[in-house]
C-alpha cells in the first residue's frame, strides 16, 4: 500500500479520510517556527513552562474518551485501553511538570582547583519526534513531556495511519496554551523527514518504531552528527520457573500478550516455561485462545479481541505463522486471518526451532509463542538468545531464584514476578537491536539536554 496519511478503519478496511503530505514550504515554515519559538520558550523560567505543560497533562485526562474513540477508529485499540492510555499520558506529562526543576538542578562537581564547578542541564533546540501508531498518545507524551519542560521545541511526525490522533494532540497543546511554534505536528513524507534531520536548525531526533526504520534514522542522524534516541523492536523473554497456580499464571501471561492486540514493543513475545508445568501451561493458553471471540473496539467483553492496526500488519503476522510452521513449529490454535478487516485470531504456537530464521523475528500481534526448558541455565540461555534487548521478566515463588536469572538478562529492563515494571517514574528503553537511550523517569529528561560544565574561578 502506498504510504499516505489516512484514517482506515481496521475493522472493515474502509478508508474514511485522507490527508495530504505537508508541502516542502510547510516543512520549512515549521522548522523555522520551531527555531524562533525556541529562542523565547527556552528562556522562560522553568516554572512557567511547567505550568503550561501541567495543563497539557490535565487535558489528556479530560479528553480521554474522545482520544480513545479516535484511536479505536484509526488502529483498532479497544476503548478501555485507549482511555487508560490517555490517562497514563496525562500522568507522564504531569510527572515532568511537577519534577522538572528537581530533575534538572545543578549538579556540583568536587574540584581540586580554587574555583567551583557544576553540571547545568540546558535545552538544546528544536528536536524531531518520529512516533508509531500502536500507542498514539503515550508515545508522544513520554517524548514531549520532559522536552517541553526542559525548554526544547518539538517537531512531531506521527504514523501515517493515525492522523486524527496527531491532530487531536496538536489541538490539545494549543488549548493548553503551548505557544505557537513550540509544538508542531507535521504530515511529513519519508523524504521530508530526511530533510528535517539534515537541517542544521534541528538538534536531535527520537524514533520509536521498527528496527528497519531505526537503522535508517540512526544512520541519517549520525551522518549529520545529531543526537538520536531509538526505541525499536523487542522479543522479550517471559520466564516461568514455577507456580502454585498454573491456570492463574497462564491467564496473566495471556492477558499481557493480548494487550493492545499483541502490538506492544515490550510484550511477552517468548514465554519460556519449565518442563514440569509446561504441558498444563500450554493447555491453559489453548483454552484461552479457543475462547477468544472477534469483536470491535466499542464492544468489549470477556475474551473479546479486536482488529490489528491494519490489513498489512495482519497479513504479515499470518505469513510469519506460516513460515514458523514450515520451519517445524506447531500452531496449536488460532492464527486465522479474517476475510476482511485486520483480524488474526489469537494463536498459540510451540516448537519453533531455536536458531531458525523465524525464531529471531518479532511477532507483533496476538501470538503466544512458548518454549520448554529443563533448568534455570537453559532458561537464561534461551532468554538471551535474541538480537533484541528491550525487556524481560522472570517468575518464581522463590524471589531470589528469579532475581538471579533476571539480573543476568541482556535487556534494558529486567523484572521479577511482574509482566513489567511500568510507571511515569520508571525509565523505558533497551539495548542491542532494541535501540538506545531512555524515556520516562529521571533518565527521560537526560537525553536531549546540554550537560554543560560551568566553572567559576574564585
Of 388, 370, 382, residue with least CA distance to 334: 370
What are the cell numbers at 269?
513475545
**φ and ψ at 330, to 5 degrees?**
-115, 105
- 62 catalytic per annotation: no
On whether the CB atoms of residues 4 and 162 are closer than 8 A, the answer is no
Assign 3-class secondary structure to 323-377: HHHHCCCEEEECCCECCCCCCECCEEEECCCCCCCHHHCCCCCCEEEEEEECCHH
Active-site residue, selected from the candidate residues 85, 265, 284, 447: 265
Cα 221 off chain centre by = 20
Among 77, 80, 92, which residue's Cα sits nearest to residue 134? 77
Residue with cell 478496511: 13
Give the closest residue to 128 by CA, choosing from 2, 244, 220, 263. 220
Q: Which residue has the cell 514531549?
A: 144
Q: Long-range contacts of range 283-286, CB-CB < 8 Å, 24 or more positions apart? A: 284/246, 284/247, 284/250, 284/251, 284/254, 285/250, 285/253, 285/254, 285/348, 285/368, 285/370, 286/332, 286/333, 286/348
Residue in the structure block whose three cell numbers are 514450515: 326
The residue among 81, 78, 208 whose CA lies nearest residue 140 is 208
Euclidean distance between CA atoms 279 and 118, whole angstroms: 59
Beta bridge partners of 450: 122
Q: Rounded distance, CA 405 to CA 432, Å?
A: 19
User: Which among 203, 209, 34, 188 has a CA at the least distance from the CA of 136?
Assistant: 209
Q: Which residue has the cell 482506515?
A: 8
Grid cell of 198 as nine digits: 539534515
* SS3 assignment, position 79: helix
Tell me the three cell numbers of residue 158.
506521527
Q: Which of 81, 160, 231, 447 is catalytic?
A: 231
∠ CA 370-373-376, rounded to 5°: 125
Give yes or no: 162 in active site.
Answer: no
Q: Annotated catalytic sites, by residue?
A: 231, 265
Amino acid at each position: 500500500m502506498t504510504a499516505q496519511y489516512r484514517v482506515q478503519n481496521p475493522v472493515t478496511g474502509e478508508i474514511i479520510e485522507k490527508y495530504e503530505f505537508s508541502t516542502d514550504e510547510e516543512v520549512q515554515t515549521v522548522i523555522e517556527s520551531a527555531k524562533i519559538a525556541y529562542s523565547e520558550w527556552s528562556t522562560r523560567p522553568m516554572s512557567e513552562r511547567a505550568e503550561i505543560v501541567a495543563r497539557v497533562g490535565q487535558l489528556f485526562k479530560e479528553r480521554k474518551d474522545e482520544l480513545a474513540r479516535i484511536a479505536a477508529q484509526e488502529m483498532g485499540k479497544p476503548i478501555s485501553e485507549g482511555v487508560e492510555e490517555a490517562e497514563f499520558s496525562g500522568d507522564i506529562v504531569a510527572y515532568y511538570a511537577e519534577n522538572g526543576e528537581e530533575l534538572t538542578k545543578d549538579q556540583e562537581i568536587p574540584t581540586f582547583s580554587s574555583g567551583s564547578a557544576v553540571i547545568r542541564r540546558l535545552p538544546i533546540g528544536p528536536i524531531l519526534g518520529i512516533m508509531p501508531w500502536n500507542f498514539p498518545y503515550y508515545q508522544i507524551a513520554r517524548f514531549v513531556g520532559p522536552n517541553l519542560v526542559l525548554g526544547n521545541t518539538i517537531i512531531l511526525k506521527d504514523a501515517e495511519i493515525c492522523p486524527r490522533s496527531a491532530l487531536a494532540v496538536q489541538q490539545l497543546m494549543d488549548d493548553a496554551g503551548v505557544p505557537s511554534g513550540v509544538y508542531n505536528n507535521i504530515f511529513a513524507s519519508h523524504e521530508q523527514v530526511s530533510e528535517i534531520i539534515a537541517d542544521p536548525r534541528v538538534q536531535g531526533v527520537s524514533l520509536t518504531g521498527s528496527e528497519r526504520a531505526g537503522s535508517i534514522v540512526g544512520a541519517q542522524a549520525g551522518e549529520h552528527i545529531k543526537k538520536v534516541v531509538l526505541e525499536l523492536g523487542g522479543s522479550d523473554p517471559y520466564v516461568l520457573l514455577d507456580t502454585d497456580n498454573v491456570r492463574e499464571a497462564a491467564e496473566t501471561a495471556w492477558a499481557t500478550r493480548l494487550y493492545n492486540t499483541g502490538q506492544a514493543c515490550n510484550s511477552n513475545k517468548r514465554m519460556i516455561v519449565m518442563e514440569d508445568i509446561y504441558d498444563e501451561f500450554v493447555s491453559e493458553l489453548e483454552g484461552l485462545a479457543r475462547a477468544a471471540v472477534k469483536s470491535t473496539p466499542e464492544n468489549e467483553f470477556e475474551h473479546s479481541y479486536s482488529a490489528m492496526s491494519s490489513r498489512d500488519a495482519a497479513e504479515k503476522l499470518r505469513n510469519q505463522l506460516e513460515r514458523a510452521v514450515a520451519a517445524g513449529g506447531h500452531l496449536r490454535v488460532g492464527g486465522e486471518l479474517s476475510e476482511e478487516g485486520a483480524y488474526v485470531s489469537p494463536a498459540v504456537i510451540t516448537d519453533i526451532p531455536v536458531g531458525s530464521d523465524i525464531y529471531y523475528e518479532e511477532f507483533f500481534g496476538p501470538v503466544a509463542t512458548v518454549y520448554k526448558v529443563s533448568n534455570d541455565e537453559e532458561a537464561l540461555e534461551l532468554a538471551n538468545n535474541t538480537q533484541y534487548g528491550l525487556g524481560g521478566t522472570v517468575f518464581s515463588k522463590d524471589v531470589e531464584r528469579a532475581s538471579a536469572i533476571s539480573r543476568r538478562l541482556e535487556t534494558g529492563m529486567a523484572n521479577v514476578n511482574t509482566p513489567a515494571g511500568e510507571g511515569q517514574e520508571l525509565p523505558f528503553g533497551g539495548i542491542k537491536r532494541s535501540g538506545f537511550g531512555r524515556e520516562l523517569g529521571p533518565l527521560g529528561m537526560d537525553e536531549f539536554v546540554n550537560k554543560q560544565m560551568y566553572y567559576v574561578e574564585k
